[in-house]
Amino acid sequence: MAAISDLDRVSSIVLRFMRAPILVLLATYTVGISGMALMPGQVTETGTTNMNLFHAFYFFTYTATTTGFGEIPVPFSEAQRLWATICLYFGVIAWLYAIGSMIKLAQHPELLTAIAERRFARRVQSISESFFIICGFGDTGSLLARGLSENYCAAVVIDSDTERIKALNMRDYRVKMAGLCADSSVPKHLLEAGVKRSNCAALVALTSSEDTNLKIAVMARSLNPSVQIICRSTNQHNREHLETLGGVGIVDPYEIFSRQLRTAIRMPMLYTWEEWLVGVPDIYLEQPVCPPHGKWILCGYGRMGSALYERFAERKIPTMIVDPDNQPADPDLPLVVGRAGISTLKAAGISDSAGVVAGTDSDEGNLGILLAARRLNPDAFLVVRQNRHENELAFTGADANLIMQPSLITARRILLMLTAPLMLNLREYLRYEGQHRVRETVDKTRMISNGERHHLWTERLGGATCAVSWLRSRGMRPTLGNAMGCPTDRSRKLSVLPLVLKRAEILIMLPGEEIELLADDEILFCGTEAAHRHFTTNLNNSYTLHYLHLGEDEPRGLIAKWLLRATQ
């Protein structure tokens, strides 16, 4: 329906702008052709040679194209030449008016918008696989789109900034993504993006306005009650409203980072392993990030500072806050009033602090806090917040132990929720199990790691091409270990590690190779891209999985099958 509506809109704009020029051209040619047919022609022995309407139309047609075939079918009379001269001048004026109107129409923003919307809707309709809708293409949306492209996931983008949509068209993504410059909170544009289509896997609201994100979520839920919605929100009021919609994933980067930092202090190996899995650069399993225990100074008590204070209070980590607000919501806060600097850091006890967090909403202010803290206590663990992705070079060159980017944290969490949601369950399981289970999982990861780039993916067993269903229909019971075998040598294993197996409502953490595979199983894996391709082949090729399960090649041709039956 969106494409038809856009077509009607384009036609309406064209007719509205070209009505007058077309009428002028029609009037000019009607008067000219009629007058030429009425003008007396050359006088001959047989009488006056007047032109008929067809010859007059033919004459005006080729003169309008500047072809110039001459005076046909017979030489003109003086009256005909005078009338042709007058009509030529008026015809040039009419055509200049019409061409100028067409140029203005081609530049009209309303027409360009209508054409862009129609083209966008048609591209969305051509997507046959599952796809995601990204509302907002700022720092977070751009990072998320890059991550989806790396995982060969299709997506469409809506953003109100024309320059951001132009930037989208210039990106070298593995999967080309359609973009529309429009207000993503308008239901019409959500429909154009395919929110009601059955293969729309999820909608992600990532605009710079939290109120707009809330409106997008409400509109999307009204248009499609079953679609998955993920919304970035750091406002408590908006979060409560989103929770009433049901089934909305809420992502708060400050809450996520506060939990990550708490995990890094308590279980550094788990934090390092998680960051390594999602591809954080300069993170190595052999060198875990180890924030120290002890007193911490939080510079800034905004969204980030308050979230960190709550998490630290849960673990009874001593905390001192430095903030210019002299009227805090909680009068019992351990607070040093003033902007974070040398004097306030000294008053907060920087000399005996284990770590300092520069968490204000000013990038230059956070870098200044970082330099002052390093000068006063060179041994302190420094965490700095980077608000804008464009300042990455300055923060990379700074002497910080940990850099917190809200946009990057949000994009990585949403990417996990879209492509590897079972990873969130595994994280909670490992936190509960403790250091021993974490160390065992990290050791298994090291065994499959050969310095190659690893990634997470989810395999869903089922469908017409699934070899597991075919083998089980013939009485065989393939196991997870069978599917992990090398397709050319079943004695070797692929560089893959099963992390979570979901069977109906049951979750099996770190499943063993002896587990039988069933149709509709959902399994989260970690491994190299090459191993991923081989593993997918094992699951979708019944002959390969038969070999990995029984150690023998099943005959494929009719003659080979006949010979096998004859020898049995």
Task: Return the CATH number at 244.
Answer: 3.40.50.720
237 and 345 inside one domain: no
Domain stops at, among 394, 417, 440: 417
7 and 149 inside one domain: no
Rounded to whole angstroms, how far apart are CA atoms 555 and 562?
9
Q: Which two tokens stand for residue 404?
A: 């917190």
pLDDT at residue 558, rounded to an integer:
57
Number of domains in the chain: 4
Is residue 300, in this structure, part of any structural domain at all? yes
> pTM score, two decimals?
0.81
Query: How many other CB atoms are there within 10 angstroms of residue 545's CB atom?
Result: 26
Give, for all 568 residues of the chain, the pLDDT tens digit.
Answer: 444 455 566 777 777 778 888 899 999 989 999 998 888 888 776 667 788 888 888 888 888 877 777 777 788 888 888 998 898 889 889 989 888 888 887 777 777 788 888 889 899 999 999 999 999 999 999 999 999 998 889 999 999 998 999 889 888 898 999 999 999 999 999 999 999 999 999 999 999 899 999 999 999 999 999 999 999 998 888 888 888 888 899 999 999 999 999 999 988 898 888 888 887 776 777 778 889 999 999 999 888 999 999 999 988 999 999 988 766 666 778 888 888 889 999 999 999 999 999 999 899 999 999 999 999 999 999 999 998 888 888 888 888 889 999 999 999 999 999 999 999 899 889 888 888 888 888 888 888 876 677 888 888 887 656 888 888 888 888 899 988 988 888 888 888 999 999 998 899 999 998 999 888 889 999 988 888 888 888 888 888 888 888 877 665 555 545 554 555 5
239 and 271 inside one domain: no
245 and 275 inside one domain: no
pLDDT at residue 326, rounded to an integer:
67
Q: Bridge-partner residues for 204, per DSSP?
A: 134, 230
Q: Which two tokens stand for residue 387?
A: 């608000």
Task: Return the CATH number at 484.
Answer: 3.30.70.1450
Contacts 24+ apart (CB under 8 A), 105-108: 105/13, 105/14, 105/17, 105/18, 108/13, 108/17
65 and 150 inside one domain: no
94 and 180 inside one domain: no
302 and 408 inside one domain: yes
Q: Which two tokens stand for residue 232?
A: 């970035």
pLDDT at residue 561, rounded to an integer:
53
Q: Which domain holds residue 538?
A: 450-562
pLDDT at residue 328, rounded to an integer:
65
pLDDT at residue 187, rounded to an integer:
92
Q: Which amino acid is at 434?
A: G
247 and 146 inside one domain: yes
Q: Which two tokens stand for residue 518?
A: 């069933």
pLDDT at residue 415, rounded to an integer:
93
61 and 177 inside one domain: no
pLDDT at residue 2, rounded to an integer:
46
pLDDT at residue 500, rounded to an integer:
93
Q: Which two tokens stand for residue 347?
A: 């008053």
The DSSP string of 82-145 is: HHHHHHHHHHHHHHHHHHHHHHHHHT-HHHHHHHHHHHHHHHHHT--S-EEEEE--SHHHHHHH
Domain stops at, among 58, 78, 109: 109
337 and 397 inside one domain: yes
- Give the DSSP H/E element, type plus range, for residue 311: helix 303-314
State the DSSP code for 317.
Answer: -
**φ/ψ of residue 43, rounded to 5:** -90, 120
277 and 410 inside one domain: yes
